[in-house]
Structure 1
Amino acid sequence: MPRMLDVSDEVRAEIGDEEAARLLAGESAPGSYDCTSCRTPGDPEQERTSTVLFIGDETAVLAFAHSTCLPSQVVQVTEEQLQGAVRAIGGAAEPEPAKVTPEQAVLGVTSGLVLIADELHPALVVEPTAPVARPGSLGAGDDFLPLLIEQGFMPLTELAAVPPALHGWSVLLAAGQLHAVLQPNPSGGRPVAWWQAHQPLQVTDGWRTAANKLQQVLMFAAPVGSIGRQPREDLLRDALDKAAANGKLVAAALPLAGI
């Protein structure tokens, strides 16, 4: 039976026509696989399957995903992320600190489910550990929220509705783990990391299921001291509500990478 594989032009350009033909003919395609996004089993003979090529600094890994989870695409990652994904392929998440770039504030990123309009949404809550100054500024002010608003994030006064989608931004969920938040490349081309985990961030099964169902993640951001480390999702929601009421919360809906 022929494989129901999708090899995008982008992936084909990287692996070559010969390897693409071998995949489509079933010569090098897996008989079954664990979806690189939702981590549930897949069968290219029974359901449409996407080829996803992860490219690191030195190596590349071809993975497979349900077409309903991810389209066939090329994803640029760091070598460390790629090795983490390779290891992963073979509970509420704790915040994972990561430096965006040297000399910038450290961001704390927490994942959790947030109830909005009677539906649970996968969310990321971002809070720096110190004030974030505007690049090139010599002042000591905190421009974290203004900078995000300039990028298209919307200020919230309450969590009554899903925030609007932000074009060009996305969340990279690979091998069932959170790797990065991507933003448009100012120079054009593939998106670049706005935030990336030092190590892939574990998410709960419920969070991953909701992300793959809705094909998007809600990202909330607040200035230092507004949210704190919350051990439970109900406490996290309370902190978000308080930050919104105080005018210290912005948000956007970000699609899964490549969607």
Structure 2
Amino acid sequence: MPRMLDVSEDVRAEIGDEEADRLLAGLNAPGSYDCTSCRTPGDSEQERTSTVLFVGDETAVLAFAHATCIPSQVVQVAEDQLQGAVRSITGEDPNAAQDRPQGAPGQAVLGITSGLVLINGELHPALVVEPTAPIARPGTTGNGGDDFLPLLIEQGFVPISDVNQRPSLLPGWSVLVAMGQLHAVLQPGTGGGSPVAWWQAHQPLQVTDGWRAAANRSHTVLVFAAPVGSIGQQPREDLLRQALEKAASGGRLVAAAMPLAGT
């Protein structure tokens, strides 16, 4: 039976016309599925469904999502990240999501904390990014300074003096939530190419049901960033909010809004 599938031109180019046509005809596509973004059930016979192709160095995984959650697209991810996603699908390595995510701009490691932030009476899903060491500008030997915020401002992040100020959307960036877990923050590829990971989880990061529900409602995630030592690991969202407000009042906070899972 034909499926209500959306197969983007990029996905078709990767999988080939024959496979794309077989999917559309219902030969290789599931009727029911768990949405790769919100993890709730979907039915490609009853509702528009996006085909999402995750591509690593050696592995490619075709997943399905509600078209209202994310569009059909090709997402370039690191091979080890994709293998972690495969393990989460097959049920192996159940504790992987508990590992602390890591990313590496230069030689620094970025830590990410997820939480809900209240702005004008509405809860917004947020990610708070803080490196474990000062960030040197690429190509420099480092002089003891920290260029983390200037580098992000050059990328389009905006300084935040008040956490109640909702940041504007940053074009070309997005937050990738796949199979119900946080996998990466993506930035535009060079020369208009496919998005690349600015930060990616060493192992997929579990988010709360409330965070995921808020993200699915707004299709937008607020990403805050502060230099090392500004926020810390806060055990509760009220303490995280206090740390954000302190960083903002001290001129040590930048932010951007990003669409959920895709550009």
Could you tell me the TM-score, scaled by structure 2's length?
0.93
Distance 1:42 1:97, change over 3 A: closer
Partner of 1:16: 16
Equivalent of residue 192 in structure 1, options 165, 190, 196: 196
How much is the aligned-residue C-alpha RMSD, in angstroms? 1.5
Matched, 1:125 2:138: no
Distance 1:62 1:94, change over 3 A: closer
Is contact 1:97-1:106 (8 Å) kept? no
Q: Partner of 1:99: helix, strand, or coil? A: coil
Equivalent of residue 107 in structure 2, options 104, 119, 126: 104
Deviation at 1:70, TM superposition (A): 0.8
Identity among equivalent positions (%) equals 77
Residues of 2 paired with 1:15 and 1:78: CA distance? Answer: 19
Residues of 1 paired with 2:205 and 2:232: CA distance? Answer: 18
- Structure 2 stretches lacking a partner, 5+ long: 91-96
Matched, 1:228 2:235: no
Is contact 2:176-2:183 (8 Å) kept? yes
Residues of 2 paired with 1:206 and 1:255: CA distance? Answer: 17
Deviation at 1:229, TM superposition (A): 0.6
Residues of 2 paired with 1:160 and 1:188: CA distance? Answer: 33
Partner of 2:116: 113
Residues of 1 paired with 2:87 and 2:123: CA distance? Answer: 30
Distance 1:95 1:85, change over 3 A: closer
Q: Partner of 2:256: helix, strand, or coil? A: strand
- Structure 1 stretches lacking a partner, 5+ long: none
Deviations 1:93-124 (A, max 9, x none): 978341315x5211111011111111111111
Is contact 1:166-1:252 (8 Å) kept? yes
Is contact 1:94-1:111 (8 Å) kept? no
Aligned residue identity for 1:39: R
Residues of 2 paired with 1:187 and 1:132: CA distance? Answer: 25
Q: Partner of 2:81: helix, strand, or coil? A: helix
Matched, 1:44 2:44: yes
Equivalent of residue 142 in structure 1, options 131, 138, 146: 146
Aligned residue identity for 1:241: E
Deviation at 1:136, TM superposition (A): 2.2
Deviation at 1:24, TM superposition (A): 0.9
Hey, which bits of structure 1, 4+ residues long, moved more than 4 A? none
Distance 1:97 1:88, change over 3 A: closer
Partner of 2:214: 210
